[in-house]
Amino acid sequence: MIIKKKNKDTEAALTPEQTELEQKRRKKRIRRRKVGRVIDRIFGFGLATVIVVGLAALGLWYVLMKGPSPTLRDTWAMTMLETRRFTWTPNIYLTTDEVKEIRSRTRQHIDEEFDASLITIAAAETQDEEDDGSPKPDAYGLIDEDGDGIVLQNIKGNGFVGYLITILDPTRVFVGMPDGYGGVGMTLEDMCAKYGAQGGINAGGFVDEGGGGMGGMPDGLTIIDGIYWNEGYGGDSFAGFDDKGILHVGYYGRKDAAAMNIVNGVSFGPILILNGKIVNPDMLVSGVNPRTAIGQRGDGAVLMLVIDGRQVHSIGATYLDAAQVLLEHGAVNACNMDGGSSSVMYYHGEYVNSCSSANGVARPLPNAFLFK
């Protein structure tokens, strides 16, 4: 192969126009090389950063999983196990048996029986007024300013924000479902429109074998307007209203629910508060994630709680966090509902909370607790 070299004689033979063109080409080549070097350095720095951050994360996980604090280990493990995209991560440092043991704690049963006598449905009354004519707080410190029997409050805790709706008349609360049973679920917004409800929260979980999150098939015993849509075997936590408006929480199957005249209820858990007390904290081992829960005060008022999570403004809450919020607002009984991307609250024609789904859009649900 013959290589021809440019020499001064060749360059001298070029016309001024050709010389200018050659200089421009040369400058372009130099600029491309410089840009290439900058891009190469940026890419190298980015790759190194990813590697360092990845190693740091693995190191942090190791400290959390193998460190001296079992509580911190369990909280971190459950946070990942409750997040569908990261359920595999605890297995990096924990054995299968260790993961099963952590999971099993929330599946323990409470021996204490539900005591319905602690709930006395208060008769509808005209709200008392202060001397200046303003609404007077009720026995729980709650003020129904517009007198419609529904109060929305902002909740703030350690690392989380949430929203609490109190419905003073429990008979206004019911369970709604999508148009088709077992198929595609329905968003909370559409479910409220279907039933003409003022608002509500997501309720039970759903069977999601394919991982598509279509939400049409409820998981566990589901009762809607006295009709049983799913068989329950008494092993799962259940929350349901009887024909008088009392919220029962416990481990109920179909026969149990029928004996108590449950007309609206869903399966999920764990139970958070029973007979005026938070259940054994060892049974409330959980991660820090979006939460939904339902409870009832001693006067029958229903408490619907949703806590944002997996976002900058609100990391999320544990089961115990949710239980403490509800107890502080007078809950005598309460049960956790489906959380994560399913946690949503709808009221007055709009979503109250910030959904944690990847696209920020509320997912289809199998059922929901609604109120008229």
- Residue 354 near residue 192 (C-beta atoms within 8 A): no
From CA 58, how far away is CA 89, in angstroms rounded? 10
The pLDDT value given to residue 280: 87
Q: Find out whether 155 and 307 touch, Cβ atoms under 8 Å.
A: yes
Greatest C-alpha distance within the chain? 109
| Edge-to-edge order in the sheet of strand 247-253 | 227-230, 222-224, 262-267, 233-242, 247-253
Q: Given this model, what pLDDT does residue 213 score? A: 56
Q: If you search the block for the tokens 């008392």, which residue do you land on?
A: 128
Q: Exposure pattern of 168-187 as b/e (b: 16+ CB <10 Å)?
A: bbbbbbbbbbbeeeeeebbb
Helix, strand or coil, per DSSP, at residue 302: strand
* pLDDT, one tens digit for every residue, the chain (372 residues): 444 444 545 445 667 766 777 777 777 777 776 666 667 556 655 555 555 555 455 556 556 566 666 777 777 677 777 776 777 777 777 788 877 877 776 667 888 999 999 999 987 666 666 667 677 888 899 999 898 999 999 999 999 999 999 999 999 999 999 987 777 899 999 999 999 999 999 999 888 666 555 667 888 899 999 999 877 655 679 999 999 999 999 999 899 999 999 999 999 999 999 999 999 887 888 889 999 999 999 999 999 999 999 999 999 999 999 999 999 999 999 999 999 999 999 999 999 999 988 777 888 999 999 999
SS3 state at 257: helix
Three-state DSSP class for residue 49 = helix
Question: β-strands 302-307, 345-347: how paired?
Answer: unpaired
Contact 355, 361 (CB under 8 A): yes
273: Cβ–Cβ under 8 A, 6 or more apart, which residues?
Answer: 249, 279, 295, 323, 326, 327, 331, 332, 333, 334
Residue 311 near residue 356, CB atoms below 8 Å: yes
Residue 306, pLDDT score: 98
Task: Answer yes or no: are the C-beta atoms of 307 and 286 closer than 8 Å.
Answer: no
Domain positions in the chain: 67-106, 112-371
In the numeric block, the tokens 């989380």 are attached to 160
Phi, then psi, of 26 in degrees rounded to 5: -60, -45
pTM (2 decimals)? Answer: 0.79
pLDDT at 82: 75
pLDDT at 36: 63
